[in-house]
Structure 1
Amino acid sequence: MNRICLTLPTNRACSATIAAIHREAVHAATRFGADVQLLILDSCDARTRAEHAGVVAALPRTDGVTVHHLGEEPQRAFLRRVVERSGLPEPDRLLRLLLPAGVSYGSCTDRAFLLAAALGCDSVHRRDSDSAYQLRSGEPVFPVHHELPWLGRPAADATAAGLRTDLDPADAHRPVSLAGASFIGELSVDIGEIRRRDEGVYHEVVGLWAPAGCSPEDRRRLVEESFTGAGTAPFTEDRSTLTLVDPMRVDMCNIAFHREVYERVPLPPATDTIGSDYFLIHLVHDARLPGILHNRHIENFHTPERRTDSGFTAYQTRYVKFLLSMLHLHHVYDRMAAEGDRLLDAGHHVRTGRIAELLRESTGLDRAENEWRLDRLDTAYRKLGGRHEEFAERLTGQRARLLDEAPRDMADFALLTEGWPALVDAARHTAPGPGER
């Protein structure tokens, strides 16, 4: 029986999402015979976590579905045991990277990866708390329908079964390593207010995540495609393709990885940085590992907290840190694309050490490009006025710190990557702890 980890990391109230993802778990168990470990990683305050615990307790028991609801203290206890068992140096630093004080989109998923290893899972399927399933004829449209059949199997098996493909035949012997789709609804990055107020400023602000030497035409295309997902058209019928999945066509709220990917390389542990959890999508593509691109898109929405002044400031800071991270990530992505399947060993496994080398290499880049980004962002936000101008003023005082943090975040990622195989091996021999239902 295929054991999978269907995971929901959350730091916000999401009782409806917990109930909905449990229905997807039941679908995976009853339709595909999967052994589903439903993992809810709960970083909410005590009151919200208690509400979630009540929802979990009321979930109907289903053969083939085991629910794990873990707050941060049980997570920390598990991680401490894993780090100690690994015998790696700097254990306190590793623990802080895996469970930092701030919001980290990469770290919360890294914890899911380690817990999936502890639970003996073959794949991880991630959903988000600020999203919902589409409906067709009143029934939810579950992405796991496309994620389960082929992950980990040679791509040629899927082709032989009739799955549409645009894969190069030379890649057909490699395992299907990813299955994913995108989202419909609101922008994945909460900057729609800028677009409504000033298209020119929106183009400037979004275009800043492109490489500095990007042509105007390429930058324009990037802006048009960025953060829009699959648009707004609702699901009507299934479409799926075996391919090298374009990172711009999938989203981390709607993704599944085989363990041979996430047990080799983690996600960046940077705090307060949107997009820090997309690294493996690029790695799978650049290493020429096959994937399945389907159209069971998740419906994205924004929570009210982002509209408050404190929520606005926090989210804009995360966007700025995303822009600054791209100096380093573009460098690594370019190197990975150039190396292609040389990133894999003879068994089609990602060469962890080579990825760590590329990450280390990126930490020494000249920060002039990031200084340019901050200059352009300051001008754009001041043009908008209001709280955007106030944020620009706040950013001025944080400029030096943010410029220093970008390479330091990559150094942390390199350290975590170097130790990742030992951490995964330790996790396989570590009990997850309390929280199972």
Structure 2
Amino acid sequence: MARTRSGDGDGTDYTDHIVIAGMAVEAPGGVDNLDDFWSALAESRELIGPFPRDREWPLRELFALERTEGWGPVPDSGGFLSGATEFDPQFFGITPREAIAMDPQQRVAMRVAWRALEHAGMNPGALDGAEAGCFMGVSFSEYGPRAGAVTEHSGYRAVGTALGAVAGRISHGLGLVGPSVAVDTACASSLTALHQAAAAIRSGECDWALAGGVCVMGSPAAFYEFAKNHALAADGHLRAYSARTTGTLWGEGAGVVVLERESRARAHGHRIYARLLASRINHNGKGAPIAVPDAWAQETLVRKTIDAAELDPALVGLIEGHGTGTPVGDPLELNALCATYGPDLEHRPRLGSVKTNVGHAQAAAGMLGLIKVLLCGANGQIAPSLHADDPSPAVDWESTGLRLATELEPWEPYDGIRYAAVSSFGVAGTNAHAILAMPVLEDENTDA
């Protein structure tokens, strides 16, 4: 069973969990707030669209790759942020010239972090000197011209293109003096950032922390790479865990959560959206090629996270999987999940992936999935996973308790708590898993 508090809710004598007290998101389809994100999830909307035409990408060459021997097709489809080019530099005390040289990932991360703080009931403009940390998942973007050349942006490129500046800009802009760390474990980056932020709070490095991830593609490099590997969704739809999957589909997005100890949240009157019961990170080790997932490593990670959470896995009602939609990755993940959360046929946790709505947002993917779970908990409903009507034949669905989430359905709590798990796996072999306990909110089914 789950670890429980011995107090009566007044802050007395209870396990001081790390909790999530606020969140914010930007997703494809013009989504820049939690209400719109939840609406899209609950209504089974796919937030996929054509490639942006304002980024000077070589689209003619990209779409013609399949006519070159050894290359697969690139669909005119992806999960792109419509507001990636929008930014108010003066609001953040940045000059327009410096803003142009900034990787858009820095700009998007700054405004999403600001909104997460507001959602937690904190004044972002009154945090100067706060012993707070900032941990942000982010990967390369290839934004702008080479730094090793004379351009009108020379002098700003060192910070403008540094991955570390994604976290550093947030800390600098808010005046936070705790640890500020950019995390790159590829597609596991944002859940790794969550894990590190929670560890920093537990160790006393900071009083509270921001944790999140961001992805804005500065070039179509990811599409080239996966077209060469014949791993893109040929029809422009990401069909996680489906028998009809043909590959993944790249996307963009950003998500940030506010973490603190439960005692601090209660003292400041912050709403508790979830307790982070446990999070764990591991690596596939050697053997298969580095980009190939490993079912044994994933199963081992899930078991260790369940043990750390001191939780009966039968209590987990929702699993937000990685679900890249690739014919190689999905079956391996499904087998690991069936071995850990699926043996009990009376217990039928729902499985899904936000990637079916927004595409694979790479370094931000895990955080978008986490926020999806938080919104499901806050609304007392499990959002459907798209394209789940024809499950993958990689597992025997009749002999496992797992079920794909195919429709919006009520999510009943257990003794006032809803339990969920979130997975995220990186192309370089890093795996991340987290388990959440979400107390029923007093004003459930209202604005999260």
On whether the aligned pair clears a TM of 0.5, the verdict is no
TM-score where L is the length of structure 1: 0.28
TM-score where L is the length of structure 2: 0.28
Greater helix proportion: 1
